[in-house]
Amino acid sequence: MKAMTYRRYGGPDVVTLANVPKPTLKPNEVLIRILATTVTSADWRARSLSMPGGFSLFGRLVFGLLRPRQPILGTELAGIIDAIGPAVSRFRVGDEVIAFTGGRFGCHAEYRAIAEDGMTALKPENLSFEEAASLSFGAMNALPFLRDQARIRRGDHVLVVGASGAVGTAAIQIAKHFGAVVTGVTSTGNVALVQSIGADRAIDYTKVDFATTGDSWDIILDTAGTVPFKRCEMSLKPGGRLVAVQGSLGQWLGLGKPSRKSGKRVITGVAAPTPEDLRTIADLAAKGELKPVIDRVYPLEDAAKAHAYVDTGRKRGSVVLRVVG
């Protein structure tokens, strides 16, 4: 099968087209013929080893010390089940599905085998394959952080920093689903986008620093890695939570954290989504409560160009790869 692979770390040019063996099914797996996938910030980090502050060595330990351990990138997909193992009962050949492989990657290819009880769900019928492929990465990060770690409640005031990216656009819509009042921080060109997907207010960071407005929020979700606690301390309400999706090593170690007396918290770490979360996300999309935002679509063979665009840091929502078998 065709796949976009990388055998060394570096810029977009390390991503090249190759022929690799088609996956062999285990009894409990389904084989998905991929029709669409995406290039995400996770792919950029794995390819370039551009890690949050202090995590450079950790990146090599995770992705491969001298060379990539998994040569096929891609964390999410949409496609059609092509074959099933003998122990599979939840899915049938021909089912249209979405899947999230996360740090196991492997979606920039024509086929991907995934365990039946893994992160796979039926594709929402109201979405195209390109739209469905771009559902899971952002939402599977935003949902666990907001619901499980920040414990979002109806009426909470939520600030999303980096509101126009894949995680940010999903976070705005998920926070609205939970009944929050949402403010998005973005650049001038993305203000209208952020408002169109449900933000009650948008702050243009090129003109206004949210930390100087005098406003405060129950939850500040930082998807961009630009908000240390010291910067936003006065912007958090009593009991407020800073959620650092791209937390630095210092934040992981608890450096610069608020005093216990303040009642404020810094939440970081890794999102821990479940297969049920993916089904929840698919259901929200089917109801129209979660709408994918797609910036550009490239053919699979142009994955290096897609990576180059993601590297600019200017993408809105998702960058999709269309796979034509």
DSSP assignments along 91-129, one per residue: --TT-EEEEE-GGG---SBSEEEEETTSSEEEPPTTS-H
Taking the C-alpha atoms of residue 11 and residue 287, their distance in angstroms, rounded to an integer, is: 39
Lowest-pLDDT range of 158-162, 216-220, 224-228: 224-228
Is 162 a residue whose pLDDT tops 80? yes
**Mean pLDDT across 247-266:** 66
Confidence label for 256 from pLDDT (cuts 50, 70 and 90): low
Taking the C-alpha atoms of residue 86 and residue 91, their distance in angstroms, rounded to an integer, is: 11
CA 7: distance to chain centroid?
24
Is 273 a residue whose pLDDT tops 80? yes
Q: Which residues make Cβ contacts (< 8 Å) with residue 309, sequence separation at least 6?
A: 39, 295, 296, 315, 319
What tokens does 292 get? 């994918």
pTM as predicted: 0.93
- pLDDT, averaged across the chain: 93
Is 252 a residue whose pLDDT tops 80? no
List, for residues 33-76, the tens digit of each pLDDT value: 999 999 999 999 999 988 766 566 677 888 888 899 999 999 99
Confidence label for 186 from pLDDT (cuts 50, 70 and 90): very high
Indicate the DSSP class of residue 12: G
Q: Which domains occur in the chain, in start order?
A: 2-135+292-322 (3.90.180.10), 141-267 (3.40.50.720)
Is 249 a residue whose pLDDT tops 60? no
